Amino acid sequence: MRHDRPMPSTPHASSAPASQLPPVPPLPDLKGHRFALTGAAGFLGRHVIRLLHRQGARIIALRRAESRPLPDATVQEAIIDLNDEAACAQTLHDLRPDHVIHLAGYANTDRSVASIVQALQVNLVGSINLVLGAMDRVPDCRVVVAGSMEAANPWQGPLALGSPYGMSKAMVEVLTGSLNRLYGTNVLNMRIGMAYGEDDPNHRRLVPSVILSLLQGHAPAIGNPGRLCDWIHAEDVAEALIRGALLPRAEPASIDVGNGRLGSIADVVAIIQRLLGTELPLQPVERLQRSNEQARCADLPAMTAALGGWRPRISLEEGLARAVAGYRQELAEAR
């Protein structure tokens, strides 16, 4: 992972012209593959399920007992308690998945001391229980853990972490990588950049919040307009996660998932404004501003090599246009 290196934003996933890049290998037919998924009802989970359906995979949504069932009747559901390693092991033993994609977690970037315990309990303990359960009962099952680019690379020295969330993700990466080395577990940590796109149930996240505000004639409330992120569309993230789940038991234990370029929040808002034909001013809100935010982007050559030649397909401009269309439709249907 490259980090703390601001780069000019670009609508393309690579600086090379598309005609000079080798073709991206297609996803294989996944009929007969059993994919178990935590966080299936969430933003990335929705995109992963859509892509798995397209490829013919069998999908099992692992959810908490108190959560709502999915509206998709074609998805098998099973209850899992991520706070109980033995229960995780039994659930996985009963289901016998070929691949597990772990997306459930505490994604709040709250910096309060109270959030530390919750981030560690949900992200660290829950992830380790799932990994240990797989190691115990389905050792040949590939487990992909959704990490964060906020965690940088904990194997390359001291970290500058911006939140308890980033802290918990870094600890998960260290522990899962160590389990691979010590016990031969079959776990891949995928450090995801700033995922965005349509069909995000959390409208408080930046892209849906900005789009919905502008569609309703309000100035978008944002934190730091100069913050730099590696923006990647959720459909590209979904494909990367599935490709990671299909990899054989091999190094590396961690892979970046991003476009390899940094763009600012102000850049993204400007594209959205242009797509909507509006020039409402940004409304920086002090309570949304956070210190110690890190600017990190994916190591694109390493990611492409690890994922068999795959690279993100969706440009920032196209991805934001899809998001605008999606949230415009959501708003129209709600009226």
Residue 207 has pLDDT above 60, yes or no: yes
Question: If pLDDT is split at 50, 70 and 90, which confidence band does 144 have?
Answer: very high
**233: which residues sit within 8 A by CB, 6+ positions away?**
195, 196, 197, 312, 314, 318, 319, 322
Tell me the average pLDDT across 140-163.
75
Model pLDDT, residue 14: 47
Name the band, by pLDDT with cuts 50, 70 and 90, for residue 20.
Answer: confident
Between residues 107 and 331, the one the model is more confident about: 331
pLDDT-derived band at 109 (thresholds 50, 70, 90) equals low
Let me know if residue 319 belongs to a domain. yes
Q: How many angstroms separate the CA atoms of 18 and 33, rounded? A: 32
Cis status, amide bond into 71, omega within 30 of 0: no
291 within domain boundaries: yes
Domain span including residue 89: 34-334
pLDDT at 80 > cutoff 50? yes
H helices of the chain, in order, are 43-54, 85-95, 114-119, 126-137, 164-183, 206-215, 234-246, 265-276, 300-306, 316-334
Residue 15 lies in a domain: no
CATH of the domain at 58: 3.40.50.720
Span 21-77, pLDDT tens digits: 788 889 999 999 999 999 999 999 999 999 999 999 999 999 999 999 998 989 999
pLDDT > 80? residue 314: yes
User: Into how many domains does the chain fold?
Assistant: 1
pLDDT at 105: 86
Out of 138-147, 281-290, 316-325, pick the least confident.
Answer: 281-290
Residue 309 lies in a domain: yes
Query: Please, which pLDDT band fits residue 289 given cuts at 50, 70 and 90?
Result: low
pLDDT of residue 122: 85
Q: State the Cα–Cα distance between residues 34 and 30, nearest whole angstrom.
A: 9
pTM above the 0.85 mark? yes
Mean pLDDT value of segment 283-302: 74
Give the contacts of 157 (CB within 8 A, at least 6 positions apart): none
When the pLDDT of each residue in the chain is averaged and rounded to a whole number, the result is 88
- Is the pLDDT at 285 greater than 80? The verdict is no
- Alpha-carbon span 36 to 27, nearest angstrom: 18
Q: What pLDDT, in 10s, does the model give residues 226-254?
A: 889 999 999 999 999 999 999 987 678 89
| pLDDT band at residue 12 using 50, 70 and 90 as cut-offs | very low
Phi, psi (5° rounding) for residue 99? -145, 145
